[in-house]
């Protein structure tokens, strides 16, 4: 897996050294994840789902945050296997695993707000999020299906 630092180095070698604008902070002008939950079963080609990483302080809050934002079912197991299962069904609204869905071939972008502090405060949860999102995509690609998740964040540290 290619890390952010590797991508920054590769990008710097391809492009002149422009100043990168700072991303908006969690309290910025953009609304949080509930903008993508206008209806109980919203289905768009590429929804942007914002996660306020300030809500995450441990495993319980990690799972609660994602269950709240994505609308996981009441029987969600609050473990990484259950997280992977729920996120793997984002393009199958009939499965009832999430209330945020996309049509087949769509991608859900998960924007992590406050990622610097989150990665320091909860390194295990941060690493697991990156790895599990990658695993969801890998499992799908190994079956000939397109990737389903994209993570968006700016890590300045």
In a domain, residue 130? The reply is: yes
**Is-above-0.85 flag for pTM?**
no
pLDDT of residue 90: 96
Q: What is the C-alpha separation between 84 and 32, in angstroms, rounded?
A: 22
In a domain, residue 7? The reply is: no
Q: What is the C-alpha separation between 19 and 72, in angstroms, rounded?
A: 39
Structural domain of residue 143, as residue ranges?
Answer: 41-152
Mean pLDDT score of the chain: 79
In a domain, residue 46? The reply is: yes
pLDDT of residue 156: 85
Residue 21's pLDDT band (cuts 50, 70, 90): very low
Beta strands in the chain, from DSSP E residues, in sequence order: 42-43, 48-52, 100-101, 108-113, 149-152
pLDDT digits (tens, 9 = 90+) for 43-59: 456 899 999 999 999 99
List the Cα angle 134/136/139 in 5-degree steps: 105
In a domain, residue 139? The reply is: yes
In a domain, residue 11? The reply is: no
The burial of 83, by beta-carbon neighbours within 10 Å (0-12 exposed, 13-18 middle, 19 or more buried), is given as buried
In a domain, residue 89? The reply is: yes
In a domain, residue 74? The reply is: yes
Look up the CATH number of the domain holding residue 58. Answer: 3.30.370.10
- pLDDT higher than 80, residue 60: yes
Name the nearest CA neighbour of 37 among 69, 62, 66: 69
Number of structural domains, the chain? Answer: 1
In a domain, residue 65? The reply is: yes
Q: What is the C-alpha separation between 12 and 10, in angstroms, rounded?
A: 5
Name the nearest CA neighbour of 51 among 106, 143, 133: 133
- pLDDT higher than 80, residue 6: no
């Amino acid at each position: 897996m290619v890390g952010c630092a590797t991508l920054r180095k590769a990008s710097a070698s391809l492009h002149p050294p422009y100043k990168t604008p700072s991303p908006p902070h969690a309290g910025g002008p953009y609304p949080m994840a509930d903008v993508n939950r206008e209806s109980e079963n919203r289905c768009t080609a590429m929804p942007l789902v914002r996660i306020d990483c300030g809500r995450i302080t441990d495993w319980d809050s990690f799972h609660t945050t994602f269950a709240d934002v994505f609308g996981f079912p009441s029987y969600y197991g609050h473990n990484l296997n259950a997280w992977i299962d729920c996120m793997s069904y984002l393009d199958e609204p009939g499965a009832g695993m999430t209330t945020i869905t996309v049509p087949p071939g769509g991608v859900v972008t998960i924007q992590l707000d406050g990622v610097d502090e989150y990665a320091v405060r909860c390194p295990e949860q941060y690493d697991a999020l990156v790895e599990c999102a990658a695993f969801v995509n890998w499992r799908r690609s190994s079956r000939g299906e397109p990737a389903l998740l994209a993570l968006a964040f700016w890590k300045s540290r």
